[in-house]
Amino acid sequence: MAQKPKSTVSADEGAIVSTIRNLWVYMWPADRPDLRMRVVLAIGALLLAKVASTLVPFAYAGIIDTLGTSGPDAALILGLSVPIILVVAYGVGQIIDTGLQQLRDILFSSVGQHAVRQLAYRTFTHVHRLSLRFHLQRKTGGLSRVIERGTKGIETIVRFTMLNTAPTLVEFLIVGVIFGWLFGWAYVLVLAAVVAAYMIFTVRASNWRIAIRRDMNESDTDANAKAIDSLLNFETVKYFGNENLEASRYDRAMAGYERAATRIWTSLGWLNFGQGVIFWLGMIVLSVMAALGVMNGDLTVGDFVLLNTFMMQIYRPLNQIGFVYREIRQGLADIEEMFRLLDQNPEIEDKSGATPLAISGPVLAFEDVYFHYDSDRPILKGVSFTVPAGKTIAVVGPSGAGKSTISRLIYRFYDVTAGRVTVDGQDVREVTQQSLRAAIGMVPQDTVLFNDTIAYNIRYGRPDATDEEVQAAANMAQIGPFIESLPHGYDTQVGERGLKLSGGEKQRVAIARTILKAPPILILDEATSALDTHTEREIQSALDTVSKGRTTLVIAHRLSTVVDADEIIVLREGRIAERGRHEELLAGGGLYAQMWNRQREAAEASERLRAAQDDPEGFVTRKPAEHPAE
């Protein structure tokens, strides 16, 4: 079960402030003075735009008043009548406002994208730090969706909080002061009531919608996970003809998304309608007050127009505040899972003061090791053995005996429950994971390749290797001639998970990759058990080559692959039942001998069946009749 995160981004205002504080280091990066300067310039452009937008209504009101009183003999300034000058000023003010807002977006674009990139990188690296247990419990498609939505949510929050919220509040303050100065504080009280009612309604409605957004995100994640899972298992779907079953599973998940998305849009309609009702009721009240002022002679027609222009100008940022709040809340819902992901602590971490592994032998040892995945199901129970430097030790046993767990403990995918795993006397928990894994090479049973070229997959063992070294490793793995026979050679694409190659070809690529890594410790984890007997014999010779002179641990199901091991350890129910060389174990007549005899009988039966298939008429094995027909 995944650990409960220490803290998550919850749907409340405190969480918004906390999230913005956490994101501030990305919006104001300490190592990028150029981006800091862009932030300053963007804010400056924004504030100038607010000043311009505040002055524009005065020009508009002046146009109304001067046009009502001016005639052909209107006063001239610089050869132009005052109304014409005000019209030009009004248009120029609008152009300046628009230009400064676009300049703000241009300046801030690189800041926002840098923040997205840095957080996406942090999340990606964090996911790779998490334990194997975590990844075995997660669905790849769902995880990728969480990261995708989270990065978009981060961009939304960074942009809107930095460039919209605070400057809009400043604009409200400026307009409030102007209203009090020109029209009286009664107008300010009505304006404040409209803004407060608008904001309270927006906050409460958005809080209601955020729960719907979470449901939609969960349905979206579920549908994407099912789609990815189905496509990754394309061949299995075809084997059983279950295309309709997969489509049905996907459609059921999308039906949940459809319901949630419909509710999202419906709730948005009600939210917009409620906001409109509140604003226009306030607009009616203020307009009636201004109209009465004009009728009483306290205000001019220009003042009436000025008030309406300011209200319409307020409506844009007020509506934007509602939009910004909705977007921030939805962004928080989108990044909620990402922050939970970042709050997940890796199960396996380097200890404080961990040192790089020092290799001298190397000698690999298990010292009275106990281990369990779940406390009620022990896997290893007091296992002790040593793999001497340059020797090959094999671990065999029935399914479920704990063989593959041994390789996971050596790699430190998990930590032992009790006892120690050591390399040259150093507890693997006391050294850095990077240095430990750099010293180990693995050829697993199920080789999964990256969807790239053969050269890329071999070079993955040592990314800085030259083309000549890659080719030499391929030749040692006995796959070089095959690769060179392909039309594109080493640039041949292997397909998703290497599915364009056969099992034996994938296994040889894995061996070449390990050869290129040149590790002092080698683990062969049932490296040939998924192959046919003929391919196994060919692969085995390549494995013998790569393991020569290395400290090698062979985890095997097929006993024929370990007959030459320096020692064979037989596991049964998590304990060492027998140990010794192949001949000694056969002579002992114990579990190993029983397993050997069963596998030999199965192999002989398989050979007889294949011979019968190759010779269906029995000409080779049929005896001549004693009395042939005359």
pLDDT at 606: 67
Average pLDDT per block of 10 residues along the chain, 630 residues long: 39 58 74 86 81 76 67 50 76 84 82 81 81 66 69 73 67 78 84 86 79 78 81 74 84 84 84 86 87 84 80 75 70 72 79 89 92 85 92 87 87 91 93 91 83 91 91 88 91 84 85 88 77 68 78 86 89 90 90 88 72 57 42
- From residue 199, give the alpha-carbon distance in Å to each of 10, 202, 308, 328: 20, 5, 20, 14
Task: List the Cα angle 326/329/331 in 5-degree steps.
Answer: 105
Whole-angstrom distance, CA of residue 222 vs CA of residue 231:
14
Dihedral-angle region of residue 246 (phi above 0 means left; psi in -120 to 50 means alpha; beta otherwise): alpha
Whole-angstrom distance, CA of residue 537 vs CA of residue 154:
54
Q: Which of 1.20.1560.10, 3.90.76.10, 3.90.650.10, 3.40.50.300 is the CATH number of 13-343? A: 1.20.1560.10
Instruction: Write out the two tokens for 320.
Output: 């934007």
Helix, strand, or coil (residue 412): coil
pLDDT at 5: 37
pLDDT at 177: 81
Whole-angstrom distance, CA of residue 183 vs CA of residue 291:
12
Q: Which residues pair with 493 in a beta bridge?
A: 453
CATH superfamily to which 364-582 belongs: P-loop containing nucleotide triphosphate hydrolases (3.40.50.300)
Residues of the chain with CATH 1.20.1560.10: 13-343
Q: Which residues pair with 364 in a beta bridge?
A: 387, 423
Q: Which residues contact 193 (CB under 8 A, 6 or more apart)?
A: 282
H-type helices in 70-165, by residue range?
Answer: 82-129, 132-137, 140-160
Return the amino acid letter for 360. Answer: S
Q: What is the dihedral of CA 249, 254, 260, 261, to 10 degrees?
A: 180
Q: Which residues pair with 572 in a beta bridge?
A: 575
Return the amino acid letter for 216. Answer: M
Whole-angstrom distance, CA of residue 235 vs CA of residue 237:
5
Instruction: Write out the two tokens for 480.
Output: 């070089």
pLDDT at 69: 58
Whole-angstrom distance, CA of residue 598 vs CA of residue 286:
94
Do 530 and 387 contact (CB within 8 A), yes or no?
no
Do 327 and 156 contact (CB within 8 A), yes or no?
yes
pLDDT at 39: 82
pLDDT at 28: 79
pLDDT at 19: 63
Whole-angstrom distance, CA of residue 127 vs CA of residue 342:
8
Residues of the chain with CATH 3.40.50.300: 364-582
